[in-house]
A and B are shown apart, each in its own frame.
Chain A
Amino acid sequence: MTKRSFWRLAATLLICGICAFFFIPTSKIRLGLDLQGGVHFELEVQSHEAVEADLRDTADRLQDRLKEKGLGSASVRVDGLSLRIEGVSAEQKPILEKALGFFGNYNATYDAQGARIVPSASYQQLLKEDAGKRALMIIEKRVNQFGVAEPEITQSGADGSRIVVELPGVSEAERERIKNLLSTPGRLEQRLKSKLDSSGYKGFPTREAALAFFNGQVPPNTELLPEMESERDLRRAGKDVAVKQKAEEKVKGWHLVETKVYVDGGDITDAHRAVNQTTDASEINFTLNRKGADDFATLTGIASEEGRLISIVLDRKVVSNLSCKEKIPGGSVRVSGSFSKEDADDFALKLKSGAMRASMKFLEEKSMGPSLGADSIKSGVFAALLGFGVIIVFMVFYYRWSGLNAVAALTVNLIVMLGLMGSFNAVITLPGIAGFALTLGMAVDANILIFERIREELKAGKSVPSAIQAGFDKVFWTIVDSHVTQLFAAMLLFIFGTGPVKGFAVTLTVGVVASLFTSIYISRFIYDWILERHPGTKTLSV
């Protein structure tokens, strides 16, 4: 073997080895929902509702502010996608302008009766994206609670308003339950920690310890709720947050909390991290709507007077306990403490995620049983293998030894395809299996073109080596051109499709690329190698 052949063989084997690494063992291959069974939802967040909700909240706040500024006679009402302010006299106009100056996200136009303010396009976009993000977060949380292995939750659409939830292995009978779970808004509540509970921020280590403390009976109008170890705690302990799984979630402590809910998550209009101008420490700001502001004032009043903790409860779990020094009116709250930047972000997210700002609409619901998938796999794989077999028989029958060359190239093609798909972590779907077989059928076309050309050149009287040379050289651009057009179609399919169709597109794209490599490089290499071993051969089995 010459050096050149050796390196070409080494390169081929290396590529096959690398590709094999990505799909062996075969358990690495992920099956699509259509094959393994499961539930699929496509939801649309009604993000315009978030804009409407924001308008209503702004109307409340504006009314209050105008009252403060002495414009009690003015009225604010929601009018379509704008706020109409009326009952302002000409001399009061400067005050109105000043008041509206605080609503920077709105564009104001003034007239004789008052003004009209419209949320700016970028602000509307922000609200919509925010609604999408919140919905996504809530769904992720719910799905994790449900305990499904490997759920897939993806966001798409112009402002992230589409959410696709795929739950493998979940049966049709559970579909409705999950649907309910996904579409009900989150429950974030602000309550008071019971007077009887003296465990403070830490809480009781176990439920039993807590029960023992209360003599085995939970006192009336209270309940024991767990506090989970949060990402924040893990970060503090120096552990990797990303590896935290649902099953590993640990209870940090138990708290006795009053059942009365003072402020509900629906009343929180916004929450974000801010930086304190003087101390440079991270803080959390959150805003409440008018009802929420009144309730929060009551809550903080009691908590500060009686020196009790406020428990933030999210979906029946304590998220955090806060203390407060004084009654806080106005509904605009700043929480300071020893927060790191991440802590503050986490907390703000939790406050926000408690409530969905917009409802969700189910665009698609699918559930597939695993038995149907098993049937599909059986017949799909059988048909694909049958097709592959027919091609092999045909090539060997028609081109003899050269046909075997094509089969070798095709086999490498198959390995490369599987490897590339494995490395993309692509999902195999039923159309994907069909795509596999079809791609192999198309890949062999390149070999047919080459072989036909070699035959033609041989017939024209060329020697075997120069016929092979000419065969590959002259067909090269034909193969490239025909592969490029197929690639166009495959890529558009990728853009167009979702789910199974995308799987189809991935297979096709990968197959086309792999076929370019195998038909030109591998087949050529095999010919060269044979010529090397049998120099001066006069005949070629083609």
Chain B
Amino acid sequence: MKIFENLPHIDFMKYKAVALSVSWGIIVLCILAAQPWKGANSNIKLGMQFTGGIDMQVRFNGDVQQDAVRAALVRGGLSDAGVVAYTSKKAGFKEYSIKIKAKKGQDSKDSTAQLNKIRDILRGLDATAANDQRPDLNTEPVGALADNWVKTNPLQVTGDETALRIAYDPIVKKVSVTREQFAPMTSFDQLPKDLPQVLANQIKSTYRLGNLSILKNESFSPSISGEWTQKTLTAVGYALIAILVYVMFRFTLSFAIGGIVALVHDILMAVGIFTLFGFEYSVPVVASFLILIGYSMADTIVVFDRIRENSHKPEYRRSSITQLVNDSINQTLSRTILTSLSVLFVAVCLFGWGGPALRDLSFPLVIGVITGTYSSIYIASPVVVYLEKWFPRHDNLKQKHA
């Protein structure tokens, strides 16, 4: 099977000016839409790792509406909390992500206080809590459970406090593991089967089962938030320099510049569209942008390699650079498309079926692989053509042999 039965003869370079202006135009539009100059109020959504703050994911047993969660948080004085609904894998449960940006100068004591406050607010969303004063087993600290048993000693263990702790700690651990698995437990029948009957009975009489489970709870100090931004930019900078030097060493300067321009184009395009669609930047997402840098360049190199190879051939000795580039692109067109397709397949699978975290991570790759293919043809190559035309150094291409 083949994409092109015969070698295509498309005059790519004819439209280079149009292509260059259209694609940079899109980038400018994306930047205008993102409004990065507005600082914190821009349309760029930054994750808590970059801004500092709390990022929680909670699951409710039963029908707790998003508005109810938001209203409860506002009532509790957390009006700036962002609440987003996730689709829960388990039927009958509701999942939400709750994000609260940190205030400037907030320290770890404040964040602990804030976390406890959020937990209390969310616990208050339990309808059964009003007529049942017993503590909730699903959110009860493990320490409290252990303390309770050590104090009451339902198993009649002999010995001092140390001995009691040794006896009860493994059982507490077992209960804790079970409730994390069910997250939250919905019935006391879910308690471990090998739990001594006395303890199971005691749990049933002293605890109720709340409807809340905290699946994920992350809190980032604002003092290191700037650090991530800086780290990211440094890494991107180093990556660009390393690639520029390598391509210069293996090809020529015009290729290196062409490659970097294409790379910057791909990053900006992916960043722009990612922002436009309202995705949130997290550290793994930034990592996927870095991968994109490597991949986009690899794609461009396939075209570059063919241009270099052709430039040594006698039939291209007298032809123009436009002709050379055009033919090279046509000759490699099928493989440029195929190699991109293989990665695109994976990226699309991850985007569609990989769950929320991988969805964010693979989106830049979906965009980037498409624009990467296009940019190898329409950004990198025209730049090489222009550079070779403007700065004609004879044998420029022919000096370097692979």
Q: Which residues of A contact B (CB under 8 A)?
A: 37, 44, 147, 169, 171-177, 179, 361-372, 375-376, 378-380, 382-384, 386-388, 390-391, 394-395, 397-398, 430-431, 433-435, 437-438, 440-442, 444-445, 448-449, 452, 455-456, 474, 477-478, 481-490, 492-493, 495-497, 500-501, 504-505, 508
Quick one: closest B residue to A475, CB to CB?
Answer: B305
Given contacts A437-B346, A477-B402, A485-B243, contact A383 B283 (CB under 8 A): no
Q: Which among A361, A371, A495, A504 is the interface contact of B183 at CB below 8 angstroms?
A: A371
| Chain B residue nearest in CB terms to A366 | B218
CA distance A388 to B349 in the complex (A): 9
Given contacts A366-B218, A448-B338, contact A390 B294 (CB under 8 A): no
Chain A residues with CB under 8 A of B108: 361-362, 365
Question: A492 contacts which chain B residues (CB < 8 A)?
Answer: 235, 238-239, 242, 290
Contact B284 A489 (CB under 8 A): no
> Which A residues lie within 8 Å of B346 (CB)?
384, 387-388, 390-391, 437-438, 440-441
A370 and B180: CB pair below 8 A?
Answer: yes
Kindly state the interface size class of chain B when it binds its partner. Answer: 35 or more
Contacting A179 at CB < 8 Å: which of B112, B140, B331?
Answer: B112
B43 lies within 8 A of chain A by Cβ: no
- Are A172 and B217 in contact (CB-based, < 8 A)? yes
Q: Within the complex, what minimum Cβ distance (angstroms) separates A376 from chain B?
A: 6
A508 touches B291 (CB 8 A): yes
Whether the pair A382, B295 counts as a contact (CB closer than 8 A) is no
Contact of B216 among A368, A378, A483 (CB under 8 A): A368
> Which chain A residue lies CB-closest to B303?
A478
Q: How far is the CB of A125 from chain B (nearest CB, A)?
A: 21
One of A147, A437, A485 near B350 (C-beta < 8 A): A437
**Does the CB pair A485–B297 fall under 8 Å?**
yes
Contact check, B141 vs A176: say whether CB atoms are below 8 A apart: yes
Q: Is the CB of B345 within 8 A of A387?
A: yes
Q: B293 contacts the other chain (Cβ, under 8 Å)?
A: yes
The smallest beta-carbon distance between B91 and chain A, in angstroms, is 14
CB-defined contacts of A490 to chain B, threshold 8 Å: 291, 294
Contact A496 B216 (CB under 8 A): no
20 A-B pairs with CB atoms under 8 Å apart are A173-B141, A175-B217, A177-B142, A367-B214, A368-B217, A369-B216, A371-B182, A371-B213, A372-B215, A382-B353, A387-B347, A391-B345, A431-B284, A431-B357, A434-B288, A438-B343, A444-B342, A482-B302, A489-B297, A496-B234
- Chain B residues whose C-beta falls within 8 Å of the C-beta of A448 in the assembled complex: 335, 338-339, 342
Binding site for A on B (CB under 8 A): 1-2, 49, 57, 89, 107-108, 111-112, 116, 139-143, 169, 176-177, 180-183, 213-221, 223-224, 231-232, 234-235, 238-239, 242-243, 246-247, 250, 283-284, 287-288, 290-291, 293-295, 297-299, 301-302, 305, 309, 331, 334-335, 338-339, 341-343, 345-347, 349-350, 352-355, 357-358, 361-362, 365, 402
On whether the beta carbons of A485 and B287 are closer than 8 Å, the reply is: no
Q: State A174–B335 Cα separation when bound (angstroms).
A: 54
Kindly state the separation between the CA atoms of A375 and B59 in the bound complex, as whole angstroms. Answer: 13
Known A445-B343, A492-B290; further 18 A-B contacts with Cβ < 8 A: A169-B177, A174-B143, A174-B176, A362-B221, A364-B220, A367-B214, A369-B216, A379-B354, A384-B346, A434-B288, A441-B345, A474-B309, A478-B302, A486-B298, A493-B235, A496-B234, A501-B283, A501-B284
Contacts of A484 in B (CB 8 A): 246
Interfacial chain A residues near B309, Cβ < 8 Å? 474
Q: CB < 8 Å: which of A177, A366, A493 contacts B291?
A: A493
Question: Are B357 and A430 in touch, CB under 8 angstroms?
Answer: yes
Cβ of B335 and Cβ of A441 under 8 Å apart? no
Q: What CA separation (Å) do A434 and B224 show in the bound complex?
A: 27
**In the complex the two chains form, what is the Cα distance from A433 to B350 in whole Å?**
10
Contact A383 B352 (CB under 8 A): yes
6 tightest Cβ-Cβ pairs between the two chains A and B: A489-B294, A482-B298, A387-B346, A379-B355, A383-B354, A441-B346
- Looking across the interface, which residue of chain A has its beta carbon closest to that of B107? A361
Q: Check B355–A380 contact: CB distance below 8 A.
A: yes
Q: List residues of chain A with CB within 8 A of the CB of B297.
A: 482, 485-486, 489
Are A364 and B342 in contact, CB atoms less than 8 angstroms apart?
no
Contact B341 A438 (CB under 8 A): no
Tell whether, in the assembled complex, residue B355 and residue A376 are in contact, meaning their CB atoms are under 8 Å apart: yes
Which one of B141, B220, B234, B290 lies within 8 Å of A493 (CB-CB)?
B290
A399 CB to closest chain B CB (Å) equals 8
Collect the chain B residues with CB atoms within 8 Å of residue A486's CB. Answer: 294-295, 297-298
B339 CB → nearest A CB, Å: 4
Minimum CB–CB distance from B4 to chain A (whole Å) comes to 11
Q: Which residues of A contact B352 (CB under 8 A)?
A: 383
Chain A's closest residue to B159 (CB) is A207
Is the Cβ of B339 less than 8 Å from the Cβ of A449? yes
Chain A residues, CB < 8 A from B141: 173-174, 176-177
Contacts of A487 in B (CB 8 A): 294
Given that A489-B290, A493-B235, A501-B287 are known contacts, is A442 also in contact with B355, CB under 8 Å in the complex? no
Closest-by-CB residue of B relative to A432 is B284
Closest to B108 in A: A362
What residues of chain B lie closer than 8 Å to A370, measured between beta carbons?
Answer: 177, 180-181, 183
Residues of A within 8 A of B335 (CB): 448-449, 452
In Å, the complex CA distance between A173 and B180 comes to 10
B291–A383 CB distance below 8 A: no
On whether the beta carbons of B291 and A173 are closer than 8 Å, the reply is no
Chain B residue nearest in CB terms to A449: B335
B139 adjacent to A394 (CB under 8 Å): no
> Would you call A376 and B215 a contact (CB within 8 A)?
no
